[in-house]
Structures are given as structure tokens and as C-alpha cells.
Amino acid sequence: MAYRLRAGLAFLLLVTLFPEAPADPLPRIRHTEPDRLSIEDLCQEIGGKLGSVSVSDCLDQELQSSGDYSLLDRPLVVKEYPPLGQKIPLGRILVLGGIHGDEYASVSVMFKWMEILNIHHSGLFHWHFLPLTNPDGLLRKKSQRQNERGVDLNRNFPTSDWEDDALEYWTTRTGRSERRYPGPFPASEPEVRGLVKEIEEFQPDIIISLHAPFGLVDHDGPPTAPTKLGNLWLSRLGIYPGSLGNYGGIDLDTAVVTVELKYAGIMPSPSQISVMWTDLVRWLLRERRK
């Protein structure tokens, strides 16, 4: 009840402060269950969009629905690499990509990393992959950073500072950039609510989030940061109202490592993809064995 009250007040504040904003910033996009896209449909779309991930590459991963859907009723898919036998994993690692729909490489690298794990999953860690967290943004005719409703999902997480700072930051620091609109209230978007649910249920020890194109490694939260992953070196970007780094690293006290690939539309070389993965696992081993 308190959350709904805060959300309603945030919406009223938006309309009062920004009267030129759409009268209904949350248009209803609701389909019946039979209209929802299947994972097979999603893979057909991904294969038609990404040059480095074919339809069969996607289908071969045997992705599962998380039970949550995007605004356009595309499934938010997951791949689980659970503990093996009696082995106790060193930690639970959540890996996600594609939160910005125009960062193609962040999705493609997720599929390449899953291919590595398909062969080499040893049970050292319990992995939970969400390879495409903003399917509507990616799979538009012209891909966009935001979701279908024009919200930057990486500014929509329900951080403790959202209601005080998110809309003000958007106005004063970004000049009301359409690409960085944080939404009318925290977790207004189904994609973000789905991610929050996955984090709450999986309870990760560390979150890895793939982005592009700053070409660096960012880190928020408690453990020591990785110095480098492949040819990407540590360079902290800071946190923003509503960002995953803020929500996970500050509010939840869970390490968030943001891997910023060098290019949004150009894949790293196969050797770099492999080295990044190896460096990541080595860092995880050092951190979790402390």
C-alpha cells in the first residue's frame, strides 16, 4: 500500500512539474495469454536481428521463461547452470545483458558465454543468465536504448534515492534526454519488475551486467573490483538514480560488475570473449575464496 501511494505521488509530481509529458505515460499494453510470444518466436526474432546469434544458436540454448514478459509480451528468458551433484558452489552469480536495446554486442556476448558454460560448467558457481532483458528495445525495426514505452530501464530500478532524485537528475543533468527518461515512478516497467523479482528470488552474491560502448569495467558494491577483464580495465563511472549499480551495489550491498564492451554493434574477437570470461572466473574465485 505504501509503495502504491508513493508511486501515485510520484506520478502526480511528474504531471505537475512536466505538463508537456504524455497525459498517460503508462499506456496499457495487455495481450491475452495466447497472444504472448513463445521462446521459439523470440529466437526467430533474435536470429533475424543479430548477425552473430542465429536462430539455431538461440534455440540450442533451451532458454526458459522467467514467467515475466515485456510490454509487447515477449518472454523474459533465463538459463540456469545449477549446482552439480553434492558440490557446494562458491557463490550465486547473476549475469544479464541487453538492458539497453541498442547495445547489440552485450546480448551477443551473453550467448557466447553461455556456449562456454554449456561445455565447461563445473559446479564451482551457480550461474543464472538473463541474456536479453529489454527485448522490445532490441527487436524494434530500429533498435533503441529504452523499452517500448520510452523508459531507460537502467534508470528505473527502485533505488532509495529514486523519488527524490531521478526526475530532477533527468531534467537538470541530462536536459530531459529521451534516451535517459527514468519513467514516471520507480519500477514502473514490467521488465524492471521482472529483474527485481529475479534478484529477490535468486539472491545473487555478485551481479554481472553487460553494456557498451565505454570499453571499461565498472564496479559498485562491497568486494574488491576486478582490475581488468580481457582488454577492459577498471574505471569507475559512479552511480545514478535508478541504475542497477545503485540498486544492487548500494541498496542491496551486492557487488555489481558492469562490463562495458568497446563497441555496441561490433563483437569482440573470439579470443577476447574467451579471455574476458577467464578473467571473470578467476576474479570470482579469488573473491569467493577469501
pLDDT digits (tens, 9 = 90+) for 241-267: 999 999 999 999 999 999 999 999 999
**pTM of the predicted structure, to 2 decimals:** 0.88
Instruction: Report the C-alpha dihedral over residues 258, 262, 265, 266, rounded to 10 degrees.
Output: -130
Topology of domain 39-288, CATH: Aminopeptidase (3.40.630)
What pLDDT does residue 135 have?
A: 98
Percent of the chain exceeding pLDDT 70 equals 88
Say how far residue 25 (Cα) sits from the centre of its chain.
22
Per-residue pLDDT tens over the stretch 126-178? 999 999 999 999 999 999 999 999 999 999 999 999 999 999 999 999 999 99
Contact by Cβ (8 Å): 191, 84: no
Alpha-carbon distance values, 74 to 84, 94, 124, 147, 261 (Å): 31, 21, 32, 12, 26
Beta strand spans in 8-87 (E) = 64-69, 75-81
Task: Average the pLDDT over each of 7-11, 57-61, 126-130, 190-194 and give the range with the smallest value.
Answer: 7-11
Residue of higher predicted confidence among 1 and 238: 238
What is the helix, strand, coil percentage profile of the chain, to 5?
A: 40, 15, 45
